[in-house]
Structure 1
Amino acid sequence: MKTTYGHLTYCSNIHPGEAWNAHFKELKDNLPYIRKELADGQPFALGLRLANDASIELSNPDRLQEFKDWLSEHDLYVFTMNGFPYGGFHDTVVKDQVHAPDWTTLDRTEYTKRLFSILAQLLPNGMDGGVSTSPLSYRFWWNDEGATDNAFQTATQNILQIADYLVEIKRETGKLMHLDIEPEPDGLLENSTEFVNWYRDHLLPMGIPYLQEKYGFTDSQAKDALLDHIRLCFDVCHVAVAYEEPKEVLERLNSEGIKVGKIQISSALKMDLKENKAEKIQSLRSFNEPVYLHQVVARASNGTFEKYPDLPEALADESAANADEWRIHFHVPLFVDSYGKLNSTQAEIVKTLDLLKEKPFTQHMEVETYTWGVLPDEIQKPIGQSIVRELQWVLERLG
């Protein structure tokens, strides 16, 4: 929906369905209710997540027209898509396979092109559109410096194919679209510093001559095209788990002229271990589920960090309890700031939205709480009601 500070939606990765018909059914069952509760009589936005299989099915012109007609009938529109999870995201063990296939592969490249082709046909005139994606790869898949360097090189070459594709679409349709890369703990790009370093040291040096040769761009035209079409996805949960300050992230991006494609409004778990350690760690065990990766970053009193690739490893390390604080990648509900003895990083969302209100740095906001199905029973609510509460909380923060 349109707000004073841009377009707000939620990501449909909360709804199951890797095949298009199954996912479309979930949208039909939930979106009319959500829109009526939040934006009755007004256009309402959907952040669309399509698995690879669904993207192939929706590329069929008849199916895409059916979807467009349904969106029009219910006064719905799409301005952003989530292209991070390629395959199964529900009713299966996801873990590190959420990164597969990664940006070193043709499969990831072709899938992302397909998403942009669909978005170009759904995107309302006068709006820019974005597709968020993975942080190139999962760092533990590359076991030495040479392999890692090759992964960066290949991934960057494939992302330049997307930039090229988006330049062509803009020339043909006038629609500006951008790939929004999402740093995540244990990705090849874990945080904003690594993202900016990659942008400066890999993307621009490889991309500027590539676009100059292809289109006859000047140096500045090629750089501007990359800055337009390759952006950061500001996932607040991931920023919090990395102990980054939102203001410093934006300053780092601004220093290089890099844009934010969208904010994914999301919240991590946080645990203060300066007191009642045993009780808090015991409380955290109820969140130890087998589906998603829950990376842990522990901060010691001297300011150093210890990283764990998943929650079971942190819980099994007795010395981890000596830290002052843990932050856990979990995407817990936004409107709750505490879970018994545990807390959330809700305050980081408030900081980020305050910065947006002070000086808008993107037009795209997407709530991304997807772990409802694996949360403890006492937090569970019907999914439609849960989404409405999340969006209402954001609207209240935006004023």
Structure 2
Amino acid sequence: MTDALVIGGGPAGLMAAEALLTAGRTVTLVEAKPSIGRKFLMAGKSGLNLTKMQAFGPFLATYGTGLHPTMRACLKAFGPSEVKGWAEGLGQTTFTGSTGRLFPHAMKASPLLRAWLARLDALGLERHTRWRWVDWERNIHHFETPEGARVLTPRVTVFALGGASWARLGSDGHWAERFAANGIEVAPFQPSNVGQLVEWSDHMVRHFGAPLKGIALHAGDQVSRGEVVISKRGLEGGGVYPLAPSLREGADLTLDLMPDLSLQAVVERLAKPKGKASLSNHLRRVLKLSPAAQAILREFVHPLPHDPIALAQMIKAVPIRHAGLRPMDEAISTAGGVSFDALDDTLMLKDRPGTFCAGEMLDWDAPTGGYLLTACFATGLWAGRHAAEYDRP
């Protein structure tokens, strides 16, 4: 018999464990991988973006109009200012970048994770790695471990098993089959925050690795401003990732190479005499289009029209012909997971009293830029606090 069990050692699971320990519960945390927080560490490899420091209204709106009320409540209880205070409470000073993104001064995730685990250990956390959850019957949980099969029977449980991307780091989504087999509604996983597959012509090879800056991308009613990188496999980067919800629904993708100029302003610049200059030099001179931007334009619009109006229309809406999203395991995160219809407003499974769910295994979607990580923290804390208050009959 175990008091409180947390299954999953990512940000949501660790936050649930902290909430339970702070409330005085005895907590056992199990993780399938050899170490804790592997995806968290990978997310911080190029700079750990903890959250976005902005007013709560715009912050919440970024998650989309379909955000479930329980998710809104979680984020209201633990939003950007709470994330900042929590990180600094672990001794990790932070700074806010020019775009409002919050980072620890160390930039990496490892110092924060070490400090976090030290605090949890001091509170009495018992943790096991290489324990893979297999199935459960009521509140009896079965695990595969290096020492063989193990069974735990907790009073309360918080699942934080992640989504279905980056399987090598632990989020393989295999748990969904067992949940569905036990009658729990699970929405199919879909890739999110992921690149676009583009089958380039040979002339694009020399531009692989080149960035496209100062652009805007449009898909359906979504607009994204951000850098995109031309890769061998397609388009990658923060500019295209937020458009995944619309692109999953089949929306067309267009690229505005001059988003800070109106169509008329582009026409006027293109109409300037070009003399003996080639069209490429003319585009470089009057619009400052980089070689990579011109290559993208020529890849999808050929031949280029010489009429200033027609050419300006193409520059403002380059039609990107793509072959869909990159595979789900390459996605930063996934949509889909445990349906909110299967949960009450404490994130407890309605058909499994005393069993809570948190993090990416819930059916929600969020862009990168701190929104994804903040919601994992917030749902883990919400589930952990309510689990701490729950007394199994």
Give the greater-gyration-radius structure (CA): 2
In terms of fraction of residues, the more strand-rich structure is 2
In terms of fraction of residues, the more helix-rich structure is 1
Q: Assess same fold via TM > 0.5.
A: no
TM-score (norm 2): 0.27
